[in-house]
Structure 1
Amino acid sequence: MTLTQKWPGRSWALLQLLLVASFTKTEEQVCRLRGDTENPQLSKDGDIIFGGILNLGAFQIAQAMLFAIEEINNSTDLLPGISLGYKMYDTCGSAARSVKVALALTNGNEVVSTLSKAPCTRSAQVQAIIGETSSSPCMAIATVIGPFYIPEISPFATCACLSDKTKYPSFLRTIPSDYYQSRALAQLVKYFGWTWVGAIRSNDDYGNNGMAIFTETAQQLGICLEYSLSFFRTDPPNKIQKIIEIIKLSTCKVIIAFLTYLDMDVLLYTLSLYNLTGYQWVGTEAWIFDSQTAEMDKHHILDGAIGLSIPKAQVSGMREFILDVKPLNSPGNKMFAEFWETLFNCKFKQSNTWIENQRECTGHEDLSGLQSSFTDMSLMPIFNNVYKGVYAVILQHIRKIRFKTKEGDEVYFNENGDPPAKYEIIHWQPTKNGVVDFVTVGLYDASLPADKQLSLQNKSLIWAQNSKQVPVSVCSEKCPPGTRKVLQKGKPVCCYDCIRCAEGEISNTTDSITCVQCQPEFWSNERRDACVKKEAEFLSFEEIMGALLTAASLFGTCMTAVVAFIFFRHRKTPIVRANNSELSFLLLFSLTLCFLCSLTFIGRPSEWSCMLRHTAFGITFVLCISCVLGKTMVVLMAFRASLPGSNVMKWFGPTQQRLSVLAFTLIQVVICILWLTISPPFPFKNFKEIKDKIILECALGSTVGFWAVLGYIGLLASFCFILAFLARKLPDNFNEAKFITFSMLIFCAVWITFIPAYVSSPGKFSVAVEIFAILASSFGLLICIFIPKCYIVLLRPDKNTKKNMMVREVKNTI
């Protein structure tokens, strides 16, 4: 970083540049000085000599160094009996001149005679060098004097590159490295949520190295740079104009300015020409606390700027010493004369540029009422760094020292020769009279844990264009909960689209990069920001479908009970006694169970209900079909028995009928017992059928057992249907086989259509299909077999006679 003269216009220089002296090896193999000798602008003899390589345009820096030296010389405790001297050179910020004076401080300027045969080497003239105040000259100086191990202590060179001890082994500084400042700036930008920023830097070691570290840290923190531009104050105007055009076309509203204050002044001037306001500027210590930069900002372009500054410091007695420059008014001190002439806008008569009628300098003008950059003490933190650097040299083992100044500042250097990194966060707040107030709004301390390094106070900040709202500078707005970020093709990671999470997935944080799948028993809510428990779905008694099926089941049960009551009241009538009334009552009982077993399919599935519903259905239907099969066989056997010489009915009497029903039913019971023993049905939560609901159903357990139960029912029903179909045209006046045929036809049709409907129906509808099949087949048996008989019993009693039942149809034959 650079620090040159602090004067209005910043173009005044105290001394003319000298030619760089070069040393060559002559044929006589002795040293000869080529070029003009380098004489210090300020010097004093002493036992220990300090070298000063400074930009004396900022005259206060030289005064700060002198103050520290004089304070040590006047102390009776620090170096009793030893005096400190100094040799100070003005470099005007030139790296070439800095190298030349560094060599002069190291080897001296004495002319060595070619006849003396004196050696070219001698002890160094100085024990330490204070300076330079910018990074590039410091790198040049450190490279030259590094092999001599002469300490160079800079108060204001911040480039992180100078921490490389393999290249600059004797370099130290009393200002933190830009490694910490760059990282602190990135954290500051992240703190305010600025993820889409522009960057402008000085095209020198200070700007390029500092911005490189900032860019690396910013990427780690999720900050993107829309552009990163560099320039130097001596660049042609069209290059700076291109920077202005890029800023105008950009979408970011925050600009990181890693610039020296001289470069910042040039940029600010160009920005003023275009009246480019409304941007939030983030600055480095090079210009953020510079009062003259603030004075130049007449168009309020930098209003609300925020950045890092060296912590404020006060050294008692230093301000008074700096302002007391009269002791430097010694004969031949050209530096004092030029300084005084510029300060008071006057001329000494002995000056080469004296003009008649021009105001004459007396050398006794009063500084107390003067308002100029010289009386501005805003650079006191830098003066304090010079002060600490001088004190550090007087102690042995500079890198291992650790001491406190009289003001309580602790001074030490780490393994890279850097001091502890501490910064104040400075905010530009314009006042009513147009003067910028540099307000400290926070601190940054790199020695603290990472989460505590940056701390900001809860102050009301005034941002660009007098806004009290923190500026927003993002490429894409934050993705709210319920969405995820999807990067835009070909753009930085800060530019993205917000895509809504898919069903069953959520994101409950802002700017989530992924959506999280909900647990199986949960589902995403409408906003996709929380997982809610899935609704359990099962066929319940409360819903309409469940209530209708329940009503149908109870209606069938009541209807069967009425038929049973009618048959019981007329149990001695021929039509009831026909075809074994005992089987009729058993069939009515089994139909009642069939209607009632459908109720086990309704309600929340449990372990017992799952086992009961399938086994009860299987056994009751087999009992029902067995009774129908028995009645069908009775019809066939009765016809056979009516033939001459037939005694078949004795083999199929009431006992045999009961045993056949019992045998057929026991087979189904055995199948059910095996099913329940090996792998019984069990309650199951189906998460796959319907995504946003849990289907509570009964898993079959053993599918073989389930299809064995259904298969056995189908086998009996098919056999019964075949027998009834064969007996449908027997010549009885009231042939029950016809009605059994119809009932079995309905039964088989229902269960054949049930299978595909059951398989394809989702969730509770599959249960409803099964219940419907049970009820439909039960109603089919009840209506087809018993309703015609009830019709005769109740409405046509004239046909309910034994004679009528025994009459056979007489068919016309040709």
Structure 2
Amino acid sequence: MWKSKVPSLTVFLIHWVLGFQSVVWKETSASCRLQGTFNPHVLYMEGDFVIGGVFSLHPTVRIVEHNYTRQPEPTQCTGRLSLIGLSFARAMEFAIKEINSKQDLLPNITLGYQMHDSCTAIPMAVNAAFQLANGQDAEIVTDASCPKVASVAAVVGDSTSASSIGMSRILGLFGIPQVSHFATCSCLSNKQQYPTFFRTVPSDNFQAAALAQVVKYFGWKWIGAVRSNTDYGNSGMASFLRVAEKEGICIEYSVAFVKTDPLRKVKQIADIIRHSTARVIVAFVQGSDLRVLLSELIKEPQPRLQWIGSEGWMIEPDLLNFGLFSGAIGFSFEAFAMPGFRQFLLDLSAIEASQTSLLKEFWEDTFGCKLQGEITQMGLEQGVRVCTGSENLNNVNSFFTDTSQMRVVNMVYKATYAIAHALHGVVCNSRQQGLPNCNKSMILEPHQVLQQLKKVNFTVNGYSVMFNSNGDPANGAIYELINWQVSKEGKLQFVTVGHYDASQPKDHELRLIRNITWLDGRTEV
């Protein structure tokens, strides 16, 4: 797929960046035709101005063996739908729905959206970035009438640092603003490398210091370290190790892996953990990577371990199925109220779900049935249950409907509002009396939105949003300390037991608010 796309995209990239008036493929041609096939968006709504969204909705990419006798098929995502990823996409929908109903923000203007699935894979995220920049026209006219503007005003996403870096390399060339809700790598604060990147989450420099503070607070001096072999894991762990060394904390081992590594490498890391003397592990890992390691660890008996986690996996609901994390502690982002969001999620109906493949997949997974119109005679013969249409999400008890645990979802909400305020600054003129005057026909250039995004300063639901010169949140970093505790029903659950406020004096940043339950329900460290 990539080889077939590169020629047209590369020429168009050069054309856009250098501002050439035309790109001649042949003597008589003033256009270039896409050779490949774009991946379809997963959620879409038309609007006067469109915001892009890129979220990790599925864990892997389907591997296709190419025979080189016909054009390759578009790469497809596979694996079980991520409820966290879906909640991100729906939070963006919810924010845009709210914004479209407001009279003081972009009045009489309808925002649309175009969302893509990055499949937790860098190539797919880059692919989505190209689509959001170029649009999905099969033929691109490159004469003087070609508008040098992107098909979207700005982009929310992606859900990982590695994917966000790949996207930013593309979007930055065009000056298209990108606001991530979950990319925490400190490397992204470098404006020379990532000039159009912003985020509503704090840099991992803060979290590394917070993790070291926790280890020091509980008196652990001999630990193991595990990280994702990505920009997120490598940068975050490097920052942690620098701080840990200053605090007199010794590291028995430091190992790295990703979910796509050969199984033998993952097994080697599992053996290192089993045979080490350290009983405390700091894991700066993405949830999808950690899931692979845990699947290997549970194959054999292992010593009891105290896990200390980064926000990349600390509130990952899928990991609750593993019994290895009882007593784990780590950080997540501060809870943030989104009035009306839970009801928005619950109001989804079978009819609405059947209209988009993403929501259809969610509905069928949730209720264990197939929506009508998709069932073959073979399926009926195999006893596939047909959805009645009367299924109700109010009767479902799942992570998706438990909005109290959706901390990162709030960051999507803030990111969407930040872009809306930037758009307002470009297309609307204030009046002394009455509503602002907004021009919905204005042709937006990416750099206009970018400059306004640097200036945004607003409050939503009691929380202020603005960016510093690095594109990071200007109000510093506040984390919640999460403890994995066993409930009365015998199930693991996330419990907030403390707070970390980076603005407080040294050694006073961490504050516990309730007792921690350790391994096997113990009350002592």
Q: TM-score range by the shorter chain?
A: 0.7 to 0.9
Q: Please show how residues 129-528 of structure 1 align to structure 2 within 5 Å.
A: 129-297=155-323, 301-326=324-349, 329=352, 333-351=356-374, 355-356=379-380, 357-377=383-403, 379-396=405-422, 397-406=452-461, 408-419=462-473, 420-457=476-513, 459-470=514-525
CA distance in 1, matches of 2:350, 2:464: 31
**1:220 and 1:334, CA in 2 relative to 1: closer, same or farther beyond 3 A?**
same
1:40 aligns with 2:41: yes
**1:460 and 1:352, CA in 2 relative to 1: closer, same or farther beyond 3 A?**
closer
2:394 partner SS:
coil
Moved more, 341-350 or 170-179: 341-350
1:400 partner SS:
coil
CA distance in 1, matches of 2:488, 2:348: 35
Contact preservation (8 Å) 1:328, 1:336: no
Contact preservation (8 Å) 1:290, 1:378: no
**1:372 and 1:98, CA in 2 relative to 1: closer, same or farther beyond 3 A?**
same
2:471 partner SS:
coil
CA distance in 1, matches of 2:207, 2:340: 30
How far is the alpha carbon of 1:134 from its aligned partner?
Answer: 1.0
How far is the alpha carbon of 1:178 from its aligned partner?
Answer: 1.1
1:105 partner SS:
helix
Partner AA of 1:450 in structure 2: K
Partner AA of 1:434 in structure 2: G
How far is the alpha carbon of 1:339 from its aligned partner?
Answer: 2.9
Contact preservation (8 Å) 2:353, 2:363: no
CA distance in 1, matches of 2:351, 2:465: 30
CA distance in 1, matches of 2:303, 2:336: 33
Q: Please show how residues 581-592 of structure 1 align to structure 2 within 5 Å.
A: none
CA distance in 1, matches of 2:240, 2:353: 48
**1:379 and 1:102, CA in 2 relative to 1: closer, same or farther beyond 3 A?**
farther
Partner AA of 2:336 in structure 1: A
1:506 is matched with which residue? none
1:588 is matched with which residue? none
**1:305 and 1:334, CA in 2 relative to 1: closer, same or farther beyond 3 A?**
closer
Moved more, 363-372 or 275-284: 363-372
CA distance in 1, matches of 2:264, 2:293: 12
Contact preservation (8 Å) 1:143, 1:168: yes
CA distance in 2, matches of 1:63, 1:414: 27
How far is the alpha carbon of 1:155 from its aligned partner?
Answer: 0.7
1:248 partner SS:
helix
1:22 is matched with which residue? 6
Deviations 1:728-775 (A, max 9, x none): xxxxxxxxxxxxxxxxxxxxxxxxxxxxxxxxxxxxxxxxxxxxxxxx
Contact preservation (8 Å) 1:18, 1:97: no
1:450 partner SS:
coil
Partner AA of 2:500 in structure 1: Y
How far is the alpha carbon of 1:333 from its aligned partner?
Answer: 3.0
CA distance in 1, matches of 2:173, 2:117: 24
2:107 is matched with which residue? 80
Match of 1:97 among 108, 115, 124: 124
How far is the alpha carbon of 1:375 from its aligned partner?
Answer: 2.6
Looking at secondary structure, tell me which structure has more helix per residue: 1
Contact preservation (8 Å) 2:208, 2:237: yes
**1:118 and 1:41, CA in 2 relative to 1: closer, same or farther beyond 3 A?**
farther
CA distance in 1, matches of 2:521, 2:303: 11
Which has the bigger relative contact order, CA under 8 A and spacing at least 6?
2
Contact preservation (8 Å) 1:291, 1:378: no
Partner AA of 1:156 in structure 2: F
1:451 partner SS:
coil
Deviations 1:635-658 (A, max 9, x none): xxxxxxxxxxxxxxxxxxxxxxxx
**1:292 and 1:104, CA in 2 relative to 1: closer, same or farther beyond 3 A?**
closer
2:434 is matched with which residue? none
CA distance in 1, matches of 2:270, 2:361: 38
1:321 partner SS:
helix
Partner AA of 1:77 in structure 2: D
1:691 is matched with which residue? none
**1:439 and 1:360, CA in 2 relative to 1: closer, same or farther beyond 3 A?**
closer
Larger radius of gyration: 1
Partner AA of 1:319 in structure 2: R
How far is the alpha carbon of 1:376 from its aligned partner?
Answer: 3.8
Contact preservation (8 Å) 2:350, 2:389: no
Contact preservation (8 Å) 1:40, 1:87: yes
CA distance in 2, matches of 1:461, 1:377: 23
**1:20 and 1:361, CA in 2 relative to 1: closer, same or farther beyond 3 A?**
farther
CA distance in 1, matches of 2:156, 2:394: 29
1:59 is matched with which residue? 86
1:600 is matched with which residue? none
CA distance in 1, matches of 2:420, 2:350: 25
CA distance in 2, matches of 1:398, 1:169: 12
**1:339 and 1:469, CA in 2 relative to 1: closer, same or farther beyond 3 A?**
closer
Partner AA of 1:401 in structure 2: V
How far is the alpha carbon of 1:296 from its aligned partner?
Answer: 2.4
1:395 partner SS:
helix
Partner AA of 1:31 in structure 2: C
How far is the alpha carbon of 1:434 from its aligned partner?
Answer: 1.8
**1:218 and 1:366, CA in 2 relative to 1: closer, same or farther beyond 3 A?**
same
How far is the alpha carbon of 1:314 from its aligned partner?
Answer: 2.3
**TM-score of the aligned structures, taking structure 1 as reference length:** 0.52
Deviations 1:196-249 (A, max 9, x none): 110011111211111111111111111111100111123233222222322233
Partner AA of 1:214 in structure 2: F
CA distance in 2, matches of 1:76, 1:327: 31
Moved more, 103-112 or 21-30: 21-30
Partner AA of 1:456 in structure 2: L
Contact preservation (8 Å) 2:370, 2:387: yes
Partner AA of 1:404 in structure 2: T
Deviations 1:248-291 (A, max 9, x none): 33222211111111222222232222232422110111222233
How far is the alpha carbon of 1:328 from its aligned partner?
Answer: 7.2
Contact preservation (8 Å) 1:281, 1:305: yes
Looking at secondary structure, tell me which structure has more strand per residue: 2
Deviations 1:48-94 (A, max 9, x none): 21111122343221111011001011112212121111111122122
1:371 partner SS:
coil
Partner AA of 1:345 in structure 2: G
Identical positions, percent? 42
Deviations 1:431-478 (A, max 9, x none): 343222433222111122323322234x433322333332xxxxxxxx
Q: Tell me how many residue pairs correspond in the alignment.
A: 448
- List structure 1 runs of 4+ shifted beyond 6 angstroms: 17-20
CA distance in 2, matches of 1:338, 1:437: 26
Partner AA of 2:331 in structure 1: L
**1:148 and 1:466, CA in 2 relative to 1: closer, same or farther beyond 3 A?**
same
How far is the alpha carbon of 1:425 from its aligned partner?
Answer: 1.0
